[in-house]
Amino acid sequence: MKKSFIFIFVFGLMVSGSLFGQEIEVPLRFDRYYSYDQVNEAMQALHQKYPELSSLDLVGYSEEDRAIYALTISNPKTGDHLSKPGVYVDGNIHGNEIQAGEVCLYLANRLLTRYGENEQITSLVDKNSFYILPVVNVDGRYHFLEDANTSSSNRSIRRPKDDDRDGLFDEDFYDDLDGDGNICNMRKRDPNGTHRTDPYDPRLMVRVEPGEKGEWILLGREGIDNDGDGRINEDTEGYVDPNRNWGYNWKPAYIQGGAGYYPLSGTGLKAISNYLLDRPNVIVVWAFHNAGGMFLRGPSTKDESEFPSADLSVYDYLGDHSEMITPGYEYLVLWKDLYATYGDFTGFTSNIIGSYGFVGELFQSSSETYTLNENLIKPGERTQQQGKEDASHQRMLFNDHVTQGELYKPWTAFNHPLYGEIEIGGWTKMSSRLPHPFMLQDLVHRNASAVIFSATQTPEIKVELMDKEKIGKNLYQVRIRLVNDNAIPSQTYQSMKNKSHRKDILKVTGSSISVVAGGELRDKHMNQAVYKEHKPQIQFIHIPGFGKLEYQFLISGKGTVKVNYSSLKAKDQELEFNL
């Protein structure tokens, strides 16, 4: 494997922050969310506790000059990290999707704390290199937790943009009118309104039917007209979508909203792109987002053709297992089952880095259940109870009785400068797309397990001498077998189709031998080999998943023969024998 020249800036973070007054300790805890600073402290704490198995790399800086870090986890005693199949995992590219960062931290914590204790994990840290970058959008994570937000706001790259074309940048954000740290909804009493109070839960509203009297008019998200242009909340942060700004199949904003002015205009994204280009050994990529409970594979758009069928078998194998590891999640295709995304991250990694890539959409709000017990329904209450069976009522009861009301803000009167007497209320910032902290442990463990499963399937090539036979004076027929017991081949078929990465090389050398002929052995019983015309001592090969490859060489001479297998993605192998 060719070792790229890499700049690794190991940055000595001061462990100065605190989590509820305590220093962050290893093993990390997953019953709460980490702030941006605490994520960095947690990575530093892991690295300090396991310096021999990890390195902490400064990848680059964001628009607002926040540092982006990645942990490399691999046992250097079993080889340089670039020599092993790389598994890259990141999260939180959208600023509000914070539990994705916790999945990454949990994976790092699990690999390091279970090394030497758990046989499977020990072997993975020996044979693989894990590149774990918990927070892609560091500004986004910082502002999501620090500022008032909805559960869906604050996704962008923090590059000011004049959304309403009035010459001012980001001048009409949401406003936390009641100062509770959430951007909720506004409503006003209006007999001609579009909604009325839900008969089963007065906190919810239902749309009025034609002919029905209304009760409420909805006024959107909490805010005022900051710039006096007659519109509210129309120029918030950005918007450049960090998952539409990558350097593969990028399209400008008139085709793909949030694309940015040119690919990789995001400074943090550019740094991460370079980080990945410096790691040509990466063969599996996971990018965690929220929400919905999905494992998405490419292609990202319809205009890209489908992946080669042999790659689909690999995706299906990993995707099907991920579904089973994470009950309720579905393995789907990005453009077909969700929507088209030009210039997205996994399009970049599948086509430029040459990896198998999954987007993990974490969390299903349907897991927030409060299912009524049929036996508790008294005669005559049937209709009343049935009304509470739908998802919105269940979630409200889940909020009331399982989180003690922490996910929903009750409607409260407020005097708005424009609308007068209104009410503010609704689902809070930490609801809807994020699990309540008590459910976080299960989410991070299962999703990290899907990553770990994919790592078990990275290529492990064994090179064997099948047989050697003297077939003439000083002439030998030598057969070599290359075996891969795992699902992932030594290179993606997409990268072979694109001709974007070199193939594996099988080389036969020796000081007192010469290779007369060499090529793939198609049928060993019929002795059918397809010999390469020039330089038979060097063969360009590719080893399938769950498969093998057999090569035949005719070698003249005597003495030691060296067989070298070299791959960008799989670990290099050597074999020596005598003639």
Q: How far is the CB of 244 from Zn ion (least distance, A)?
A: 11
Joined tokens for residue 501 = 């990465």
Q: 538-547 burial string, b = 16+ CB within 10 Å, else e?
A: ebebbbbbee
Pattern 220-249, Zn ion, x by CB under 5 A: ------------------------------
Q: Three-state SS string across 136-175, please?
A: CCHHHHHHHHHCCECCCCCCCCCCCCCCCCCCCCCCECCC
CB nearer Zn ion, residue 299 or residue 459:
299
Pattern 288-317, Zn ion, x by CB under 5 A: -x----------------------------
Spatial separation of the C-alpha atoms in residues 222 and 186, rounded to whole Å: 6
Nearest to 498, CA basis, from 311, 343, 302: 311
CB nearer Zn ion, residue 37 or residue 344:
344
| Window contacting Zn ion (CB under 5 A); options: 20-28, 286-294, 332-340, 507-515 | 286-294
CB nearer Zn ion, residue 104 or residue 482:
104
Q: How far is the CB of 263 from Zn ion (least distance, A)?
A: 18
Q: 112-124 burial string, b = 16+ CB within 10 Å, else e?
A: bbbbeeeeebebb
Nearest to 493, CA basis, from 289, 257, 314, 371: 314
Question: Which sign, positive or negative, has the C-alpha torsion 385, 389, 390, 391?
Answer: positive
Q: How far is the CB of 139 from Zn ion (least distance, A)?
A: 15
355-384 positions binding Zn ion, by CB under 5 A: none
Q: How far is the CB of 341 from Zn ion (least distance, A)?
A: 10
CB nearer Zn ion, residue 94 or residue 501:
94
55-114 positions binding Zn ion, by CB under 5 A: 94, 97
CB nearer Zn ion, residue 95 or residue 425:
95
Cα–Cα distance list, 146 to 287, 308, 522 (Å): 24, 45, 63
- Give the amino acid at 371: T
CB nearer Zn ion, residue 136 or residue 452:
136
CB nearer Zn ion, residue 142 or residue 565:
142
CB nearer Zn ion, residue 315 or residue 363:
363
Residue 141 engages Zn ion in binding (rule: CB under 5 A): no
Q: How far is the CB of 288 from Zn ion (least distance, A)?
A: 9
Q: How far is the CB of 555 from Zn ion (least distance, A)?
A: 55
Q: How far is the CB of 179 from Zn ion (least distance, A)?
A: 28
Count, residues near Zn ion per rule CB under 5 A:
3
Nearest to 458, CA basis, from 35, 86, 20: 86
Joined tokens for residue 294 = 């999905």
Spatial separation of the C-alpha atoms in residues 459 and 312, rounded to whole Å: 16
Q: Which residues bind Zn ion (CB under 5 A)?
A: 94, 97, 289
